[in-house]
Amino acid sequence: MEFGPHLMLATLEGAITAAILALTAVGLSLTFGVMRVVNVAHGEFFMLGAVAAWFISTAIGGHPALGFIAAVVFAPLIIGLLAASADWLVLKRLEYDPERTIVATIGLLYIIQQGALIGFGPNAQPVEAPFSHRIALPWFEWGESGFEMYYPWGLSTNSYKLFIIFAACAILMGLWVIMTRTKIGLVMRATQQDRDMATAFGIPVERVYALTFGLGAALAALGAVLIVPVQQAYYLMGHDPLLLSFIVVIIGGLGSLRGTVLAALLIGMSDGIISVFFSPTLAKIIATLLVAMVLVFRPQGLFGKGTH
């Protein structure tokens, strides 16, 4: 395949990565931004979403779309509740002390990961997409009769993959509406801005935290449900999303959901596109060092508000 079409494919793949990364990272941004806790187990909630999707769709059987819809509804709900209870039972009692929280969430990571290994098994399991149509993509060329459009061999994508992008956008829009236009969103933002003032106004801060923690986990789980037909469910799949989400949240700037989404776009897209020019490993090295350098010279990230 020539360079142009190759780049287009990479861009598309990058967009999908960015979409899922945005969902996962926004989930982390909520907990990190609102509660100021480093949740090392965030990637495991992502993995649980994929695992739950597999369980649900296997249990329901029949047309994959049924299982998919059930998974989209129930997996984030279940995992959100799980996370909220972890917050209520453990993190709350630690008073969200930074070091103790890291230890506790590392513990949670081991518990969840091992639990998945026992319950789900060590092998990667596929989940069928609810629908899948091959869509050939056009490319352009300056031919004898002027500007021509043709369909290069091998340049195609999948309707489900395109759906992922739209779904992620819709979810993020929905989240934005909740955060800015509803009372619960206002309460969450108030608690993030000034916890003590929120308490003074009668906001049950600890319940808001549990809700936030649950919502963050649910978003990650939702992202995993969307990507699992493409990627397969695997008990160790939480590692990369964890790393990437943290990078995205810090680069985007703590406390800025908009920054998180933009950073997810940047990092998700660039990883795919740089890989076109360089070997994937070298691309990753460049991306990693770039992230480090952004922080070294601009510690508050791209859109962050001061130091924390």
Partner 1 sequence: MSEISRIHLLHAAMVAALVICWFVLPVYHAGNLARIMVFAIYAMGYNLLFGYTGLLSLGHALFFGAGMYGLGLAMHLGGVSAGPGILAGLIAALVVSGIVGFLALRTTGVAFMIVTLMFAQAGYLAVLLFGTYTRGDEGFVLPQATRALLGVDLSDAQNRYFAALLLFSAVLFFIGWLVRTPFGRCLVAIRENEERARMLGYDITRHKLMAVIMSGTISGLSGAAYCLLFGSAQAAFVAVPYSIFPLLYVLLGGMGTTLGPFVGTLFMFYLIDWSGGNMMVAGFVLVALALFAPAGILGEVRRRLITWLP
Q: What is the binding site for partner 1 (CB under 8 A)?
A: 38, 90, 93-94, 97, 99-104, 106-115, 118, 239, 243, 246-247, 250, 254, 279, 281-282, 284-285, 288-289, 291-293, 295-297, 299-300, 307-308
Q: Considering the complex, what minimum distance in angstroms separates the CB of residue 223 from partner 1?
A: 21
- Gap between the Cα atoms of 247 and 263, Å rounded: 9
Q: Considering the complex, what minimum distance in angstroms separates the CB of residue 7 from partner 1?
A: 23
Q: Which is nearer to partner 1, 129 or 251 (CB)?
A: 251
Give the 3-state secondary structure of 170-207. HHHHHHHHHHHHCHHHHHHHHHHHCHHHHHHCCCCHHH
Q: Considering the complex, what minimum distance in angstroms separates the CB of residue 217 from partner 1?
A: 17
Q: Are 203 and 193 in contact (CB under 8 A)?
A: no
Q: Considering the complex, what minimum distance in angstroms separates the CB of residue 292 from partner 1?
A: 4
Q: Which is nearer to partner 1, 33 or 229 (CB)?
A: 33
- Residue 171: burial class (beta carbons within 10 Å; 0-12, 13-18, 19+): buried
Q: Considering the complex, what minimum distance in angstroms separates the CB of residue 216 from partner 1?
A: 16
Q: Which is nearer to partner 1, 109 or 172 (CB)?
A: 109
Q: Considering the complex, what minimum distance in angstroms separates the CB of residue 249 from partner 1?
A: 9
Q: Which is nearer to partner 1, 33 or 76 (CB)?
A: 33
Q: Are 46 and 220 in contact (CB under 8 A)?
A: yes
Residue 253: name the closest of 193, 293, 179, 308 by CA.
308
- Gap between the Cα atoms of 273 and 271, Å rounded: 6
Q: Which is nearer to partner 1, 70 or 102 (CB)?
A: 102
Q: Are 185 and 257 in contact (CB under 8 A)?
A: no
Q: Which is nearer to partner 1, 65 or 282 (CB)?
A: 282
Per DSSP, helices labelled H in the chain are 3-30, 42-60, 64-86, 98-120, 159-181, 183-193, 195-200, 205-231, 239-252, 257-277, 280-297
